[in-house]
Structure 1
C-alpha cells in the first residue's frame, strides 16, 4: 500500500469546492438610478442619486400643476405611508378639519384644475372648458339630451362648436 496523507475513502477537501461568488441581480436601470450627480437644490450644490433628482423634478412638476406628476407624487406618498405602517413605529396624531363651503373656493378649484374659467364678457359667470364638457358628454349610460339641455350646455361651455355630441343621445 502506498504511503499517502489521506486514508482510502477520506477526501482531501472535506468541505468541497467553495461556491462561486454570486453576481447580484442588478438591472442596468438600477445601476443608472444609483449613479451620483451634482445638483443645485435650493441655491446649494448637493450630490444626489439620479433617483433623487428624478423625484425632485417630479415634485417640482407636481407643484407646477402637471397632472401626471401629481399622480406620481401621490403614489410615492401612498407607498411611504404603507411602508411606515408596516414598520409600525409611526404614531399619528389625530387632526381636525374645518370645511368652509363657498362658491369662490369651488370656482378657484375649477380654475386651478383647468375645468372652468370666468367668462371674459361677464366675469361673475363661469364657463366650463370644452375638454371638461366633452368628458361629461362622453360618459356612457346617460339619458338623452333635450333641445333645452343642448342649448344650456352650449351656453355654459367655452368654445362649444368643438364639442362632439354622442350619437343617439339628443332627443
Structure 2
C-alpha cells in the first residue's frame, strides 16, 4: 500500500463518512471485571520477597498483614488495633469451622501470663538462647529476633548516638546481630 504525499492513506482504504472502523463496537467488559475494584486487583497480585535470606512469593494481602504486624510490635496503636481485629476475625472463623470437642483441652505445664519471657516467645520476638551457661545457671536466656531489634532501632529519632557499650549489648542480646542496620553515626 502506498501513501500519497501529505500522509493520508489512499481513498479506497479509508472508511466512508459515518461508517465505523469497528462495526461491532468496543467489547463489553465482563461483569466480573466491572465489579472488581482497583484494590481487589492489587490484592490478587503476588510479590517476591526475601525473608531470612530466602526468596518467596507472597500475596500483597499477606505482605500488608506482615507489615501491619511489624508496626504493631513497634508500638503503632492503629496497627495494634488492626492486628487485634485480624485476630478476632480469625478466631470467629475458626470457631465457625470447629467441630464440638468431646473433652476440654488441657494445658501441660504452667503458663505465667505475667512472665515477659513467655510473651516474647509466644509473639515470636525472641527465641531461647542455645548457649549453655553451665549447671548453676537457673535463668531462661533469650535472644531477640533481628527484625524486632531493627524495629526498635528504627524508632530512635534524634537523641544521642549509640555508645560502643550499647552496641555491644544489643549485639549480645540479638540472635543474628550481623543482619542489623545501625543508625547513622553509630560505630560498630
> Shorter-chain TM-score: which interval?
0.3 to 0.5
- What TM-score do you get using the length of structure 2 for normalisation? 0.37
Whose RCO is larger (CA < 8 A, sep 6+)?
A: 2
Computing the radius of gyration from Cα coordinates, the structure with the larger value is 1
